[in-house]
């Protein structure tokens, strides 16, 4: 069984630029999460999808962050414009309907200079 795929693995941009991350969850996993993990901290939930609907985006900075999961499969997370404090690892996770174990991708390490 293939795991959660994310790309790119690394990205370096200047502040005020835009960036997009992609996630392909495990096949059949209905729920998808995007997390932000700042160095030395635990993951912080940005947005949770159930199929193509948003379940929780209360901690998503909506003035600059957006995410979509149009067909209920893969998802993109965008930051526009980026700030220095956005430097972090962005993790994608998925979970099967009714399940209790999240499966994580390798993450995208973003550096904003």
Partner 1 sequence: KNQVEQSPQSLIILEGKNCTLQCNYTVSPFSNLRWYKQDTGRGPVSLTIMTFSENTKSNGRYTATLDADTKQSSLHITASQLSDSASYICVVGDYGQNFVFGPGTRLSVLP
- Where along the sequence are the contacts to partner 1 (CB under 8 A)? 4, 31, 35, 40-45, 48, 56, 91, 93, 95, 99-102, 104-107, 109
Nearer to partner 1, 17 or 105 (CB): 105
CB of 81 to partner 1, least distance (A): 26
Contacts of 16 by beta carbon, 8 Å cutoff, 6+ apart: 81, 82
Q: What are phi and psi of 85, to 5 degrees?
A: -70, -5
CB of 43 to partner 1, least distance (A): 5
Q: Provide the β-strand partners of residue 54.
A: 49
Structure tokens of 95?
């979970």
Nearer to partner 1, 17 or 73 (CB): 73
CB of 71 to partner 1, least distance (A): 20
Nearer to partner 1, 42 or 53 (CB): 42
Structure tokens of 75?
């998802």
Burial class (CB in 10 A: 0-12, 13-18, 19+), 70: exposed
| SS3 at position 93 | strand
CB of 111 to partner 1, least distance (A): 13
Nearer to partner 1, 55 or 84 (CB): 55
């Amino acid at each position: 069984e293939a795991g959660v795929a994310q790309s790119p693995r690394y990205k370096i941009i200047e502040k005020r630029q835009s960036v997009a991350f992609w996630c392909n969850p495990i096949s059949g996993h209905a729920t998808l999460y995007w997390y932000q993990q700042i160095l030395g901290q635990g993951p912080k939930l940005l947005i949770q999808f159930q199929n193509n609907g948003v379940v929780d985006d209360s901690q998503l900075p909506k003035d600059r962050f957006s995410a979509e999961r149009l067909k209920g499969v893969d998802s993109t997370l965008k930051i526009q414009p980026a700030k220095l404090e956005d430097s972090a690892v962005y993790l994608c996770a998925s979970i099967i309907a009714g399940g209790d174990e999240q499966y994580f991708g390798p993450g995208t390490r973003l550096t904003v200079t």
